């Protein structure tokens, strides 16, 4: 299946996977009742984010990464992202934050510089206003910009936009974080992290493997910085700070295709013909399948809930 | 793309590649450096101690603390001894109340227990570094710390603070270090015996390690025909155990409790063990061992594939000898855990040390193989993937401890501690600690 086939698959299957995945949190917030108003924003946000991930990873930064790797990463975003936000108190706000951040990333990666300077920056500010965890995107740019000779201006622009978004969000009365109550955050965060363990492993490997150019004119030059900040923020979340897990790991989702591509090459013997390296690759693949089990079980729970909610299902 | 990146490498085979571009490389190297791993280990230790100390149920920690407090007071009586445990832990810890400035409470035990545990981590790190080198030792120590704190911080039948297993770590590791690294049978036997004596005076559960020493020593002496050396080391181990026990025996003898307490110990030891049905342990009890098991599986598969001997650092025996001892020890401890009649998670602490050392051995075999014949690109790819999966599995194991620590820290109240201690003191006696055992319940 080529690029177009995987795009169609991502669009169709992404929706199919996201629909039941968005159910548990919607029913939870509806106090046991399903309402379309609780479900629809979450469903649309992750569906669009998944499609955005697939489209935005087709540029030169992912040169050599097969379409199926990008498709799998996008589908996993559609299936798991809603389940990694089960404990958010303000779930619609969290969904909008995810959508705004994903859209900002897509624009930064795909649009021409003159365009991203308006829409991309604006969406970054909106994402930060909706959830302070989104500030990892400007911080990632800033980190990358520190190493670059010419990227300072872009980095500072985004940092100020993010800060502006944070201030405006507070001024209009939005809570700073869309997520957890402080004293209950640790267990909830860990439950959310457990759903995306396979994404973490593949994203971490992709992050360690990805070699993006430092030139700021290149669309993906800031990705390693974003991923680096994502890892730091995720570790803070694991320690109990009430960050939004799925926003924190979004950068690793964008690097997951690189990890998948390398693992596939390792298994197929394209990287090396050494038997031991390939054996290790096989064991790693099995471990990642095992790590995916909590996420698959959570998605299955959403699907069963969906079957129950269908007319005649109960 | 390549022209944008400064760092490039060329491997032995002449293949060229591009090194990690910053800032990714900097963070990754920082996160996996031995210093960072040890800092994370300390963080997990703190979270684990908070989780264990602030547990909602407080039983065993009070049993042992009250006994320790009373035995170090003037006018201690026979009822201050816990009937089914040797008094070693109480004697090793109760002195702190003579230095403690405030009212007596469990708080006094926090620094004592942490000192024992930190010393145990240090000994483990030293042993692992000697056997497998620094980078592996740091990773293994982190897994060791996660597993121990997970098991006692998330205990299911009692509380995990001030338990015997937390104090056993240090002497058992010292005994193992002596067994694995000291060549002289005289020094080895004596050091092993002294450490085992301390361990056996804390809790009878350490008898599993003594059995492993005996079995492994016997089998390796038959194989290498070094009967005399093994005999000398074995005899000195027994003498060492006696020496380590002597302060405890003198203490009991001076109070006139020796015969009665030994009789009670003999009658009640093993009351928590039985032949249990064979069943797979609950998943949550295996999670802390998963990173270690992962390394063991990878190392074992690589070892079977390459059929090359792994590199063991400064051990007094070969790789096979070391594997033999660790498997023997692990099997005995696993049987011990299986035979426990209560589903306490702290029993699993006994399995952690042999598992961790086996994991180190397994991954050292892989490192030895990769160092010998792999090109830089293959080495980098393999270790990158192992690192990513290991980090995720370690996160899975550490998260429950960190969650429990960050949740329970709000329950910490030193004033309540003093009140509760006074209540236990007034209404409870250590001699009742074994009342639930069938042997004790009989008239």
Q: What are phi and psi of A178, to 5 degrees?
A: -85, 0
- Distance between CA A167 and CA A176 in Å, rounded? 9
Residue B303: per-residue pLDDT = 80
CA distances from A171 to A130, A162, A168, A255, B235 (A): 12, 14, 5, 34, 78
Q: Which of B21, B369, B399 sits opposite A211 (nearest CB)?
A: B21
Nearest CA in chain A to B376: A272
Chain A: residue whose CA lies nearest to B386: A284
A284 touches chain B (CB under 8 A): yes
Place of tokens 């991309």: A120
Q: Cβ separation of B4 and A274 shorter than 8 Å?
A: no
Report yes or no: A190 and B401 within 8 Å, Cβ to Cβ: no
> Does A290 reach chain B within 8 Å, measured CB to CB?
no
Pairwise CB contact (< 8 Å): B4 & A210: no
Q: Please tell me the distance in Å from B44's CA to the nearest CA on chain A.
A: 10
Q: Which two tokens stand for residue B260?
A: 């009665």
Q: How far apart are CA A42 and CA A118, in angstroms?
A: 26
Q: How far is CA A17 from CA A22, A73, A244, A255, A298, in A?
A: 9, 13, 21, 21, 12
Tokens of A134: 């989104």
pLDDT at B241: 97
The answer to whether A255 contacts chain B (CB < 8 Å) is no
* A11 and B CB contact within 8 Å: no
* Burial of residue B275 (number of CB atoms within 10 Å: 0-12, 13-18, 19+): exposed
Q: What whole-number distance in Å separates Cα of residue B439 and Cα of residue A201?
A: 51
Neighboring chain B residues of A187 at a CB cutoff of 8 Å: 403, 407
Beta bridge mates, B340? B273
What is the rounded CA–CA span in Å between residue B379 and residue B31? 19
Q: How far is residue B354's CA from residue A10's CA, in Å, rounded to a whole number?
A: 47
**In chain B, what residues touch A201 (CB-CB under 8 Å)?**
388-389, 391-392
Question: E strand or H helix at B10, and its extent?
Answer: strand B8-10
Those residues of chain A that have pLDDT short of 70 are 112-113, 115-116, 147-150, 180-184, 211-217, 313-314
Cβ–Cβ gap A204/B388 under 8 Å? yes
Look at the alpha carbons of A88, B391, A200, A61 in this order and tell me if their dihedral is positive or negative: positive
Which residues have CB under 8 Å from A62's CB, separation 6+? A70, A220, A257, A258
- A211 and B398 within 8 Å at the Cβ level: the answer is no
∠ CA B368-B372-B374 to the nearest 5 degrees? 105
Asked if the Cβ–Cβ distance from B389 to A201 is below 8 Å, we say yes
Rounded Cα distance, B231 and B143, in Å: 36
Gyration radius from chain B CA atoms: 24
Interfacial A residues in 145-174 facing B (CB < 8 Å): 146-147
Angstrom CA distances, A213 to A104, A289, A299, B16, B355, stand at 20, 31, 37, 17, 42
Chain B closest-CA separation from residue A118 CA (Å): 26
Cβ pair A82, A42 in contact under 8 A: yes
- CA-to-CA separations, A186 to A80, A234, A237, B159, in angstroms, rounded: 19, 12, 8, 20
CA distances from A69 to A72, A187, A211, B187, B343 (A): 5, 32, 17, 59, 44
Q: How far is CA B120 from CA A113, A173, B173, B175, B374, in A?
A: 57, 51, 7, 12, 36
Q: What is d(CA B396, CA B383) in angstroms, rounded to the nearest whole number?
A: 20
What phi and psi, each to the nearest 5 degrees, are found at residue B11?
A: -90, 180
The rounded radius of gyration (Å) of the Cα atoms in chain A is 19
- Mutation target for B interface from A276, A278, A282, A292: give the one with most B CBs within 10 A: A276
- Are B27 and A231 a contacting pair at CB < 8 A? yes
CB contact under 8 A, A275 and B302: no
For tokens 């490498």, the residue is: B9
Residue-wise over A190-228: b if at least 16 C-beta within 10 A, else e? bbbbbbbbbbbbbbbbbbbbbbbbbebebbbbbbbbbbb
Subunit contact B378:A202, Cβ cutoff 8 A: no
Burial class (CB in 10 A: 0-12, 13-18, 19+), A4: exposed
**Per-residue pLDDT tens listing for chain B (443 residues):** 333 334 444 444 454 444 444 455 666 777 778 888 989 999 999 999 999 999 998 999 999 999 999 999 999 999 999 999 999 999 999 999 999 998 999 999 999 999 999 999 999 999 999 999 888 899 999 999 999 999 999 998 889 999 999 999 999 999 999 999 999 999 999 999 999 999 999 999 999 999 999 999 999 999 989 899 999 999 999 999 999 999 999 999 999 999 999 999 999 988 888 888 888 888 889 999 999 999 999 988 888 877 665 556 667 778 889 999 999 999 999 999 999 988 889 999 999 999 999 999 988 888 877 666 677 777 888 888 999 999 999 999 999 999 999 889 888 999 999 999 999 999 999 988 888 777 676 54
Q: What is d(CA A162, CA A229) in angstroms, rounded to the nearest whole number?
A: 15
Query: In this structure, are residues A21 and A82 in contact, taking their beta carbons and an 8 Å threshold?
Result: yes
Contact A243, A133 (CB under 8 A): yes
Q: Do B20 and A287 touch (CB under 8 A)?
A: no
Query: To which residue do tokens 């951040």 refer?
Result: A101
The answer to whether A63 faces chain B, any CB pair under 8 Å, is yes
The number of residues making up chain A comes to 314
What is the predicted ipTM?
A: 0.92
Instruction: Give B403's Cβ-side CA count (13 Å radius).
Output: 18
**Peptide bond connecting A20 to the previous residue in cis, omega within 30 degrees of 0:** no
Terminal CA-to-CA distance of chain A, rounded, Å?
38
Tell me how close the Cα of B408 comes to any Cα of chain A, in angstroms. 9
Please answer yes or no on whether A283 and B399 come within 8 Å at the CB atom: no
The answer to whether A23 and A306 have CB atoms below 8 angstroms apart is yes
The Cα of A113 is separated from the nearest Cα of chain B by a number of Å equal to 19
Positive or negative, the Cα torsion across A22, A25, A29, A33?
positive
Which of B44, B382, B407, B411 best probes binding to A when mutated, by most A CB atoms within 10 angstroms? B382
Q: How far apart are CA B232 and CA B250, in angstroms?
A: 26
Q: Is some CB atom of chain B closer than 8 A to the CB atom of A139? A: no
Q: Which residues are B273's β-sheet partners?
A: B340
Minimum distance, in Å, between the CA of residue B9 and any CA atom of chain A: 13
Confirm or reject contact between A285 and chain B (CB < 8 A): no
Answer yes or no: are the C-beta atoms of B347 and B336 closer than 8 Å. yes
Which helix (H) or strand (E) element contains residue B8? strand B8-10
Q: Say if A279 is an interface residue toward chain B (CB within 8 Å).
A: yes
Chain A residues lying within 8 Å of B24, measured CB to CB: 207-208, 210, 224, 227-228
CA distances from B88 to A72, B81, B108, B246, B437 (A): 58, 10, 18, 11, 21
Answer yes or no: are the C-beta atoms of A62 and A70 closer than 8 Å: yes
pLDDT at B17: 43
Kindly give, in sequence order, each residue whose CB lies less than 8 Å from that of residue A8, ignoring residues fewer than 6 positions away: none
Q: Quick check: B405 and B50 in contact, CB under 8 A?
A: yes
């Amino acid at each position: 299946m080529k690029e177009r086939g995987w795009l169609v698959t991502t669009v169709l299957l992404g929706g199919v996977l996201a629909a039941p995945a968005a159910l548990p949190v919607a029913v939870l917030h509806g106090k046991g009742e399903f309402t379309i108003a609780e479900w629809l924003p979450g469903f649309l946000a992750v569906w669009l984010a998944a499609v955005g991930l697939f489209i935005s990873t087709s540029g030169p930064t992912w040169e050599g990464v097969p379409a199926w790797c990008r498709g799998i990463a996008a589908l996993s975003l559609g299936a798991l992202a809603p389940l990694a936000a089960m404990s958010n108190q303000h779930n619609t706000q969290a969904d909008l934050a995810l959508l705004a951040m994903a859209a900002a990333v897509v624009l930064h990666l795909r649009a021409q510089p003159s365009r991203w300077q308006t829409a991309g920056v604006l969406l970054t500010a909106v994402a930060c206003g909706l959830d302070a965890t989104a500030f990892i995107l400007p911080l990632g740019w800033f980190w990358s910009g520190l190493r670059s000779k010419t990227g300072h201006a872009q980095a500072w622009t985004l940092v100020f936009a993010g800060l502006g978004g944070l201030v405006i969000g507070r001024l209009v009365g939005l809570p700073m974080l869309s997520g957890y109550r402080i004293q209950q955050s640790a267990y909830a965060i860990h439950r959310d992290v457990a759903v995306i363990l396979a994404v973490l492993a593949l994203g971490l490997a992709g992050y360690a493997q990805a070699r993006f150019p430092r030139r700021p004119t290149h669309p993906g030059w800031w990705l390693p910085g974003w991923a680096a900040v994502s890892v730091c923020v995720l570790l803070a979340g694991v320690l109990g700070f009430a960050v939004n897990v799925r926003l924190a790991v979004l950068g690793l989702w964008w690097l997951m295709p690189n990890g998948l591509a390398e693992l596939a090459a390792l298994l197929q013997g394209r990287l090396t013909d050494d038997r031991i390296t390939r054996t290790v690759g096989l064991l790693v693949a099995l471990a990642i399948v095992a790590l995916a089990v909590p996420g698959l079980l959570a998605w299955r729970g959403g699907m069963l809930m969906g079957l129950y909610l269908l007319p005649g299902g109960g | 793309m390549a022209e944008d990146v400064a760092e490039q490498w060329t491997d032995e085979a002449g293949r060229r590649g591009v090194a990690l571009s910053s800032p990714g490389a900097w963070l990754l190297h920082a996160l996996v450096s031995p210093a960072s791993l040890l800092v994370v280990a300390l963080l997990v230790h703190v979270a684990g101690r908070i989780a264990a100390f602030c547990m909602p149920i407080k039983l065993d920690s009070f049993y042992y603390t009250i006994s320790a407090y009373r035995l170090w007071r003037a006018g201690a009586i026979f009822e201050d001894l816990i009937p089914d445990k040797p008094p070693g832990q109480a004697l090793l810890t109760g002195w702190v109340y003579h230095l403690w400035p405030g009212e007596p409470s469990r708080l006094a035990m926090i620094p004592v227990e942490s000192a024992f545990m930190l010393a145990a981590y240090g000994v483990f790190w030293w042993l692992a570094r000697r056997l497998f080198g620094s980078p592996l030792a740091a990773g293994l120590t982190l897994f060791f710390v996660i597993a121990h704190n997970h098991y006692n911080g998330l205990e299911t039948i009692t509380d995990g603070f001030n338990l015997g297993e937390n104090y056993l770590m240090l002497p058992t590791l010292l005994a193992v270090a002596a067994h694995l690294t000291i060549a002289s049978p005289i020094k080895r036997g004596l050091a092993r015996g002294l450490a085992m004596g301390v361990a056996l005076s804390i809790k009878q559960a350490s008898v599993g390690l003594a059995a492993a020493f005996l079995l492994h020593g016997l089998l390796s002496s038959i194989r290498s025909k070094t009967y005399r050396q093994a005999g000398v080391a074995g005899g000195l181990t027994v003498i060492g155990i006696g020496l380590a026990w002597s302060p405890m025996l003198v203490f009991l003898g001076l109070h006139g409790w020796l015969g009665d307490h030994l009789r009670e110990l003999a009658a009640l030891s093993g009351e928590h063990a039985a032949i249990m049905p064979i069943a797979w342990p609950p998943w949550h009890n295996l999670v802390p061992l998963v990173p270690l098991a992962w390394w063991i599986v990878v190392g074992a598969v690589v070892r079977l594939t390459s059929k090359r001997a792994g590199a063991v650092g400064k051990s007094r025996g070969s790789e096979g000898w070391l594997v033999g001892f660790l498997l023997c020890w692990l099997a005995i401890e696993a049987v011990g855990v299986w035979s426990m009649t209560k589903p306490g998670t702290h029993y699993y602490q006994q399995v952690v040390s042999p598992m961790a050392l086996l994991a180190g051995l397994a991954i050292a075999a892989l490192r030895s193989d990769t160092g010998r014949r792999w090109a830089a690109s293959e080495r980098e790819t393999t270790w990158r993937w192992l690192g990513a999966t290991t980090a995720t599995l370690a996160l899975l194991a550490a998260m429950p401890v960190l969650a429990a620590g960050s949740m329970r820290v709000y329950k910490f109240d030193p004033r309540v501690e003093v009140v509760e201690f006074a209540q236990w003191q007034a209404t409870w006696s250590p001699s009742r600690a074994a009342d639930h055992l069938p042997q004790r319940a009989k008239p």
